Homo-oligomer: A and B are copies of this chain.
Amino acid sequence: MQAKVLITLKNGVLDPQGEAVLHALDNLGFDDVDGVRVGKMIELDLSDTNADTARTRVEKMCEKLLANTVIEDYEVEIL
């Protein structure tokens, strides 16, 4: 079973990497971009065969390691 985790900075948290990408795009002539936020995507191969169990496990992984829940939100998708 596969899981996809999307990790994004919470609203209001400064994203210097996104700002840098925005400026770089602007310098390349892509001036139709108003904002950029950069996040992470983590793909996991799981040996669980039950989707509910897998989701619970992955949420625990996010809380413990994958996301910094003070400044980041996460979204789990079981494929």
Task: Name A's B-contacting residues (CB within 8 A).
Answer: 6-8, 18, 21, 24-25, 28, 30, 32-48, 57, 60-61, 64-66
Q: How many copies does the complex hold?
A: 2
Alpha-carbon distance A24/B24, docked complex (angstroms) = 34
Knowing A21-B66, A61-B25, the reply to whether A36 touches B43 (Cβ < 8 A) is yes
Contact A39 B34 (CB under 8 A): no
Q: Are A43's CB and B37's CB within 8 A?
A: yes
Distance (whole angstroms) from the CB of A13 to the closest CB of chain B: 13
A6:B45 contact, CB within 8 angstroms = no
Q: Are the CB atoms of A35 and B39 closer together than 8 Å?
A: no
Q: How far is the CB of A8 from chain B (nearest CB, A)?
A: 7
